[in-house]
Structure 1
Amino acid sequence: MITMRAVIEVPMFDSRAALPWPVEPLAPGSWLVLNADCADRQIGLFVAASANRIDVASPGGRYEVVDALLAEELLIVAGGVQVGDTRTGTTVVPGCCSGLADWREWAQLFTGGSPWLGHDPGPEVEVVGDDLRVWQDGSSNRHRGHWADRRVDLPSGALAPLLMRVQRDLVGFLDALAEWAARAGLGQRGTALVKAVDQSLAITAPLDLLAS
């Protein structure tokens, strides 16, 4: 079975800084899948990752972190869409500098375009007959080295329902984020945070799948 999941890359946090809420202890460089089933520690990790490169006012508690996020014109968090094949156990992950907001780039395939999936090693989508071949390394060296031949093949007709599933997962995550914010006592800050995440990541806006 082919899967597409919205993910963020876990950053390296400053070991000297205390995070204002519990977070899932995932290794830096690993991937956190976002959906309605995310637990509080996973949601806390997402919010902390979103604020990781933002200046936070002292004393750096939960209110200051959320206020810093709300002061940003656009929230940026590393990630994107992870494509997997459960039959082969192969997974292709977003490349360096890809952001979760780029998940809609995949819709360009419906109009003959090609999504930008990050670089190093430069994931790339190749059209092969009626299939889409998603390479982890889209360069001329794809058949050599660490990423040799890592790819996932999916029928073109499967793309629309898979992208709609990604959007449903992100909408479900927004609901989980709202519930987490309420439990964290963020009040109106929590409501504003959910809105900011939705707008920055273009989650609930209509998904234009022209060929679906």
Structure 2
Amino acid sequence: MLEVGRLDDFPLWPVADVGPWLALSEALTAAEVGAAVARIAAYNHLDDRTVWPGDDPLTAVLPVVAADPEPGSLVVPGGLRLTDPATGARVDPGCCSGLEDWREWYEVPAGRSPDLGHDPDPWVERRPDGTVRVWADEEGSSWVDAHVDELMGLVNGVRADLAGFLRALRSWADDVVPAGADELVANLDRHLRVSEPGAPARP
């Protein structure tokens, strides 16, 4: 999930009003992809007191296109959301977590917990029966359970969805910022680590 928030009066390309969260996938409309790009660019370059530079879309996406290749130099605010269809319980990413860290979920079988952000401080518990319990907050008010193999299948699904998002992004970029399309898609792919081969070996 990408944490989008509001993009009131955004001037440079059409953006959808998607609410606080947007699930990234190939199914996004062009306006939804536009909202995602605007949010990522703003998060990595702007603040509430800064206006968008001029009327050039390419200039607006330069924070994404020109981001340093070092891990952590580009933040994609959000993370993975888990939902229990039986109980309706849901665990959202915590504050300041980043979707670029989604591969940390592959380390859960080895007993390590991904960084889920803070406030309300969600966290992961590996249980002796092979179940992974993901707590929604520090107080333990609600949780989602999944067997570790099921969870790894879900993480593989995240990778497939992100690959689909990059395809939708390519189509959007060819229309809106054709001069920067290659760099935009390649840099987001690099920081989201979508095309990076393999996954951590299971213990």
Scaled to the shorter chain, the TM-score interval is 0.7 to 0.9
Mapped partners of 1:38, 1:12: distance in 2: 17
- What residue number does 1:124 align with? 123
Helix, strand or coil for the counterpart of 2:12?
Answer: coil
Report the residue type matching 2:153 in the other structure: P
Contact 1:160/1:209 (<8 A) preserved: no
Q: Percent identity?
A: 36
Contact 1:23/1:41 (<8 A) preserved: yes
Dislocated runs of 4+, deviation >6 Å:
none
Report the residue type matching 1:86 in the other structure: P
Helix, strand or coil for the counterpart of 1:79?
Answer: coil
Mapped partners of 2:104, 2:202: distance in 1: 15
* Residues 57 and 25 (structure 1), Cα distance of their counterparts in 2 relative to 1, 3 Å cut: closer
Output the TM-score relative to the length of structure 1: 0.84
Contact 1:110/1:209 (<8 A) preserved: no
Output the TM-score relative to the length of structure 2: 0.87
Unaligned runs of 5+ residues in structure 1 are 1-6, 143-147
Mapped partners of 1:193, 1:69: distance in 2: 6
- What residue number does 1:3 align with? none
Which of 65, 80, 89 does residue 70 from structure 1 map onto? 65
Q: Does 1:42 align with 2:36?
A: no
Alignment of 1:136-155 (within 5 A): 136-137=136-137, 139=138, 141-142=139-140, 148=141, 150-155=142-147
Alignment of 1:86-101 (within 5 A): 86-101=85-100
- What residue number does 1:85 align with? 84
Which has the larger share of helix?
A: 2
* Residues 60 and 105 (structure 1), Cα distance of their counterparts in 2 relative to 1, 3 Å cut: farther
Mapped partners of 2:130, 2:104: distance in 1: 20
- What residue number does 2:41 align with? 51
Q: Does 1:8 align with 2:2?
A: yes
What is the CA RMSD across the aligned residues, in angstroms? 1.9
Aligned length: 193
Which has the larger share of strand?
A: 1
Unaligned runs of 5+ residues in structure 2 are none
Q: Does 1:190 align with 2:185?
A: no
Deviation at 1:58, TM superposition (A): 3.3
* Residues 25 and 57 (structure 1), Cα distance of their counterparts in 2 relative to 1, 3 Å cut: closer
- What residue number does 2:150 align with? 158
Q: Does 1:167 align with 2:159?
A: yes
